[in-house]
Amino acid sequence: MSVVTRCGLVASSAIAGWICGHALAQAADADWGCQIVLCVAAQTPSWHGIPYCVPPMEKLIAAMALPGFSWPICTGAGTGAPGYDAFEDCPAGYSEAEDQSGHGGNSESYCSKYTTERGERIELDRKPRTRREKPYYFDIRQQGGATTRAWFDLIP
For residues 77 and 19, give the distance between their C-alpha atoms in angstroms, rounded to a whole number. Answer: 9
Q: Dump pLDDT digits (tens) for 76-114.
A: 777 878 999 999 999 999 999 866 655 555 557 899 999
Average pLDDT over residues 127-141: 91
For residues 23 and 21, give the distance between their C-alpha atoms in angstroms, rounded to a whole number. Answer: 6
* pLDDT at position 141: 78
* pLDDT at position 25: 44
Q: Dump pLDDT digits (tens) for 22-43.
A: 433 455 567 899 999 999 988 8
* pLDDT at position 68: 94
Q: What DSSP line would sit under the chain, residue for residue?
A: -EEE-TTS-EEEHHHHHHHHTTTT--GGGS-HHHHHHHHHH--SS-GGG-TTTHHHHHHHHHHHTSTT-----BGGGTB-SPEE--BPPPPTT-EEPP--SSS---S--EEEEEEEETTEEEEEEEEEPPBPSS-EEEEEEPTTS-EEEEEE----
